[in-house]
Amino acid sequence: MKKINVAVNGYGVIGKRVAEAVALQKDMELVGIGDVAADWRIKTAAQKYAVFANTEEGHRAMVNQKIEVAGDLNDLLDAADVVVDCAPKKFGAQNAEKYRQAGVKFIVQGGEKHETTGHSFSAENNYTLAIGRDATRVVSCNTTSIVRTLSALKRAGLLNKARGTLLRRATDPWESHKNGIMNTLVPEPEIPSHQGPDAQSVDPNLDVVTAAVKVPQTLSHLHYWTVQLTKEASKDEVLEAFGSSTRTAFINMSDDLSANNAVKELMLDLGRPHGDMYEVAIWKDMLKVEGDELYYAYLVDNQAIVIPETIDAIRALTGIESDPAKSIKKTNRSLGIRQRFI
């Protein structure tokens, strides 16, 4: 079987995880990573991967830091069938032009606009629509969780409308000495916040409104949802609906998984790389159905949840797997994704 050659451009919190995940796929080959920095992160990358310098300045910095440089961005793109752009927000749109000129298929992350690719991706929702396209956009962590959970309710014929409050982690842990917030709560200035409309870029028929607030912790996002169901339903019906997503796992307060630090520790104890949680973790015993109203809360690991989606997006764009369920299964197995943690 011919393997797909994958380049990762931008080696930050998402890029490094995509690189690791690509390296685990039997049908993919990681040809290298591109970046412009020359700090500890890139030195670590150079121990494992071929490193390409995206700019001349970056090249000089890498040489100064004794990092072996495999080539420039053109060399990286020459070697790739598809490039996954994980550059900081907004750079993806600039890079997209270069990818198009080089004739390489590409994936951007959720920080970019839908218009950059014209398609927004969520594996369990619209994999087939991405097959054979030149480019797609894997929606953001929060949006991925929204589409994943609400699509599950929709498939079961239960979803009327959903209203959510999102507690967003302040910043990523590795840079919390730079961008952290202390002892405060920072609401997004507008309701609805952008995640609701963003979910509609994947599924325009979702009736979803979100409000969001930044909180002073770094471990994960936490969502609270109120859903108007299409009819009165039992808790079991709802649990079964969520269970139809293979990337949704249930956790329980009664297991003392009563805060996001405990869940993070569980992921580390399970031996997950970086303690990553790819699944949406829904509190099963907290979840409540009253008549035709449903209430629940879940955790989103903002650094990890989009990784399996990105792997599936690679298969969809390149067409090496036309069956969404098969791609999802391969990805889930390679990353150890499961619906029960304990």
The two tokens of residue 234 are 């039992």
By residue count, the chain amounts to 342
8-state DSSP, 73: H
Local structure of 204: helix, strand or coil:
coil
Nearer of residues 111 and 192 to its own copies, judged by Cβ? 192
Q: Residues 283, 251: contact at Cβ < 8 Å? A: yes
Minimum CB separation of residue 26 from its own copies in Å reads 37
Minimum CB separation of residue 222 from its own copies in Å reads 5
Q: What are phi and psi of 239, to 5 degrees?
A: -60, -40
Break the chain down into helix, strand, coil percent, rounded to 5: 40, 25, 35
Q: Which residues of this protein are in contact with its own copies, per CB under 8 A? A: 163, 165, 167, 181-187, 189-192, 209, 211, 213, 215-220, 222, 224, 226, 253, 258-261, 283, 285-288, 290, 293, 295-297
Local structure of 93: helix, strand or coil:
helix
To the query of whether residue 86 is one of the catalytic residues in this protein, the response is no
- β 221-229/280-283 pair status: unpaired
Minimum CB separation of residue 234 from its own copies in Å reads 16
Nearer of residues 71 and 224 to its own copies, judged by Cβ? 224
**C-beta neighbour count of 325 within 10 angstroms:** 12
Nearer of residues 127 and 225 to its own copies, judged by Cβ? 225
Nearer of residues 13 and 259 to its own copies, judged by Cβ? 259
Minimum CB separation of residue 192 from its own copies in Å reads 7
From 18, 50, 79, 141, active-site residue: 141
Residues with catalytic roles: 141
